[in-house]
Amino acid sequence: MTFKSIEAKVDRGEPLDFADGVALFHEPDLLALGQLANRVRERLHGDKTYFNRNMRVEVTNVCVASCLFCSFAKLKDGDPGSHTMRLEEAWAKLEARMSDPPSEVHIVNGLHPGLPFSYYEDLLRGFKRIKPDVHMKCFTAVEIHFFAQHYGMDYETVLTRLQAAGLDSLPGGGAEIFHPDVRSRISDDKATADEWVEVHRVAHRMGIRTNATMLYGHIETFDHRVDHLLRLRALQAETGGMQAFIPLAFHPDGNGMKNLPAPTGIDDLRTLAVSRLMLDNIPHIKAYWVSTTPKIAQVGLRFGADDIDGTIVHETIYHAAGSTSPQGLSERELVRLIREAGRIPVERDTLYNVIREFPRSALPEAAVKVRDRKQALHLAIVN
């Protein structure tokens, strides 16, 4: 499989196959790979680069699953460090932001065995009461699967009840690596690949849009990554319900795989590029800057990515660090990152409707603060 023949396929708009994908991951010429992915990205989106104003809430870190890659694995209620929010506590997060409200609330949690299902329904309703038009992007397929098992319902019933309470779309987390050789070793006690796919299939059938992710850079091989991408492409061919694909770089600190090195900048960019090239039927590829560092995410905007995620994570990090930096600064920083990459910043809502298109470039604004990958660790893992 030569690079040239793959390039020809891409230019003809033909889908790439398994061997193509593996060859691309092994391609030594990083810039040639990036350039090819960039061509597809620009064909689809020109210079437009999306971001949104979202906020992130984790109502509980109590979890029955014991994923090797997760630093919060198997916390029980009452364990030191475990925390489950009272509903008012969760809602207060949005209330505190109402002077400059986000367009999206993104909720991802541990698999808590002791909460009633109504807790989640009330949670959603409460947010909608505060801001009726806020978009609730909540609960990964792994959580939906857990709800179905734990509360004795099928996926459709779970989703229908949540939708009635205010759920708008599903995030893409919990996909990890689908291939059983890997999944059985890193997270054997939560939704399987087929179950993850089935949750999304049901959601799509109900008109609920979703995202998808892949946690890479741990024990998986390039073959496993390509297999993962092809499973997503097959699902998308069936339903068309996925909006964005988000590769997540594995972080080795404080979890069961801490002896592994973190993925390199090269691998981050390569993975974005191959994802863009393989997933010809998923519209958006997101360079999730929390997982790769803002610098790599920014360069990623030339390696196939057309979305740099939202402002929220920023704010959470500041919050965790006790900082009082205004939220608006983070939006400025995102806009600056995008512009500096020579792209056009576009603020979107969760469903990729354009809220605001920014002019292409402006005078240099505030500096982008570079944060250590480590600081952003826990958010990357649970997206």
Partner 1 sequence: MAMNDNFSSLRVAAVAYLNARPLYLPLAESPHHGGARPIEMQLGIPSEVARAIAEDDADVALMPVAAAATLGDLRLVRGIAIAANGPVRSVVVVSDCPFDAIEDLALDLSSRTSAVLARLIFRARRKGGEPRLVGCSSSDAIGAVGARRGALVIGDPALMIEGKFRHSLDLSEAWRDITGLPFVFAGWFGRAGVLSPDDEARFRAAKAEGLARRDEIADAYAHQANLSAESVRSYLRDSLRYDLGDDERRGLERFYEEAASARLLPKATVRFFDDDRAPRSSTPEPELDTLLSRAADGERLSAAEGGRLLNEASFFDLGLAADAIRRRKHPHNVVTYIVDRNVNYTNVCTTSCRFCAFYRPVGHPEGYVLTRDQLRSKLQEVVDAGGVQILLQGGLNPDLPLTWYEELFQWIKTEFGLGLHALSPEEILHLAQIESLSVRTILERLHAAGLDSVPGGGAEILVDRVRRKIARAKCTSDEWLGVMRTAHHMGLRSSCTMMYGTVDSGADRINHLIKLRDLQDETGGFTAFFCWDYQHEQGTHLPPGENGTFLYLKQQAVARILLDNIDHVGASWVTQGPQIGQVALRFGADDFGSVMFEENVVSSAGTTFAMNANVMEKRISEAGFRSVRRNVKYAWLSEPI
Among 28, 80, 116, 152, binds partner 1 (CB under 8 A): 28
Classify strands 104-107 and 135-138 as parallel, antiparallel or unpaired: parallel
Q: Is 268 in the site for partner 1 (CB under 8 A)?
A: yes
Sheet with 54-57, strands from edge to edge, namely: 54-57, 104-107, 135-138, 169-170, 209-216, 242-249, 284-285
Site for partner 1 in 323-342 (CB under 8 A): 336-337, 340-342
Q: Minimal distance in Å, beta carbon 266 to partner 1? A: 5
Q: Is 116 in the site for partner 1 (CB under 8 A)?
A: no
Q: Is 171 in the site for partner 1 (CB under 8 A)?
A: no
Query: What is the C-alpha separation between 188 and 211, in angstroms, rounded?
Result: 22
Full DSSP string of 312-353: HHHHHHHHHTT----HHHHHHHHHHHHHHTT-EEEEE-TT--
Query: What is the C-alpha separation between 365 and 33, in angstroms, rounded?
Result: 31
Q: Minimal distance in Å, beta carbon 375 to partner 1? A: 12
Q: Minimal distance in Å, beta carbon 49 to partner 1? A: 12
Q: Is 68 in the site for partner 1 (CB under 8 A)?
A: no
Q: Which helix (H) or strand (E) holds 255?
A: none
Q: Minimal distance in Å, beta carbon 101 to partner 1? A: 29
CA-to-CA separations, 123 to 77, 136, 162, in angstroms, rounded: 19, 10, 10
Among 97, 112, 302, 314, binds partner 1 (CB under 8 A): 302
Site for partner 1 in 351-380 (CB under 8 A): 364, 366-370
Q: Is 321 in the site for partner 1 (CB under 8 A)?
A: no
> Which of 211, 290, 202, 287 lies closest to 247 in space, CA to CA?
287
The DSSP symbol for 360 reads: S
- Indicate the residue among 41 and 93 with the shorter CB distance to partner 1: 41
Q: Which helix (H) or strand (E) holds 249?
A: strand 242-249
Site string for partner 1, 281-300 (x = CB under 8 A): -----------xx-xx-xx-
Query: What is the C-alpha separation between 366 and 337, in angstroms, rounded?
Result: 10
Q: Minimal distance in Å, beta carbon 283 to partner 1? A: 23
Cβ-count burial of 235 within 10 angstroms (0-12 exposed, 13-18 middle, 19+ buried)?
A: buried
Site for partner 1 in 126-165 (CB under 8 A): none
Site for partner 1 in 36-65 (CB under 8 A): 38
Residues that bind partner 1 (CB under 8 A): 28, 30-32, 34-35, 38, 261, 264-269, 292-293, 295-296, 298-299, 302, 336-337, 340-342, 364, 366-370
